[in-house]
Amino acid sequence: MKKIIIDKEIFEMFSDFKRGIIIVRDIKNSSSNEKIRKLLDKVIIQRVGREWLEHEYVKAWEEAHRKFGSNPKRYPPSIKQLLKRVQKIGRIPFINSVVASFNYVSLKYLVPCGGDDVDKVEGNLRLGLARGNEVFVPLGGGELEHPKPGEVIYYDDKTLNVMCRRWNWRNGDFSKITEESKRIVINVDGIGSIPQSLIEEARDELAKLLVEECNADLKTDLLNEDRREIELDF
């Protein structure tokens, strides 16, 4: 059975890391949803203002990136990328209901969120430090890349295909969520000053939204230093 695993090396460097998990067994994803669109538009308006880029939760992720050797100015954490896009153009594309939902929650709580189509993953979904032999094709396509040794990556530990580089900087193309996706794992991440209670609140709001608007069959969970892995019991 597939597992979600966070390697011990992550907690040796970041003992306060916590990951809210939503395991989606079945879902009806769509290219549009009026309620989710309105929620996303509303939170975008609330986040227009450069002061949000200086929020302690955003800074916590920048510091984490520096700690594992990544430059957050050149390779910004996903929450900073979302905020910068809001500052620049005042909107975020509605990719599909699931992606729009976790973008909404990410902006509301100022934490990174992401998700992957589990049916496209052959091994365990593992968060760990790269050796450098893993393979990555960025979302939308492009040339094959290899992460740098020591970089925090989220990857398929059987095929070594990378789902996300530099922890939460850029997603891989192979596991992207589409309207055809049925089995999904979504992550809501916290570190540093970001309390576990906030991660749980954000995770639960996202789960509730997916149940109500996408007819999702799901369960929630949490990984931290005391619980590094869980089974995907589809």
Domain membership of residue 220 (yes or no) is yes
Domain membership of residue 189 (yes or no) is yes
Contact predicate 18/223, CB 8 Å: yes
Q: What pLDDT was estimated at residue 141?
A: 87
Q: How far apart are CA 177 and CA 96, in angstroms?
A: 8
Phi then psi for 117, rounded to 5 degrees? -80, 110
**pLDDT range class, residue 234, cuts 50, 70, 90:** confident
Domain membership of residue 155 (yes or no) is yes
Indicate the pairing of strand 125-129 with strand 3-6.
parallel
**pLDDT range class, residue 56, cuts 50, 70, 90:** very high
Q: What pLDDT was estimated at residue 126?
A: 98
Number of domains into which the chain is organized: 1
Q: Which residues contact 71 (CB under 8 A, 6 or more apart)?
A: 65
Token reading at 128: 């760990």
Structural domain span for residue 12: 3-228
**pLDDT range class, residue 233, cuts 50, 70, 90:** confident
Q: How far apart are CA 227 and CA 188, in angstroms?
A: 16
pLDDT by residue (tens digit) across 20-54?
999 999 999 999 999 999 999 999 999 998 899 99
Burial class (CB in 10 A: 0-12, 13-18, 19+), 213: buried
Phi then psi for 9, rounded to 5 degrees? -60, -30
Domain membership of residue 234 (yes or no) is no
Answer whether 0.85 is exceeded by the pTM.
Answer: yes
Phi then psi for 145, rounded to 5 degrees? -125, 165
Phi then psi for 186, rounded to 5 degrees? -115, 140
Q: How far apart are CA 34 and CA 83, in angstroms?
A: 22
First and final CA of the chain: distance in angstroms?
9
pLDDT by residue (tens digit) across 130-168?
999 999 999 998 899 999 999 999 999 999 999 999 999
pLDDT by residue (tens digit) across 77-134?
999 999 999 998 889 999 999 999 999 999 999 999 999 999 999 999 999 999 999 9
Percent helix, strand, coil in the chain, to 5, is 35, 25, 40
Q: How far is CA 73 from CA 53, 61, 80, 136, in A?
A: 12, 12, 10, 21
Domain membership of residue 79 (yes or no) is yes
CATH number of the domain residue 28 falls in:
3.50.40.10
Domain membership of residue 233 (yes or no) is no
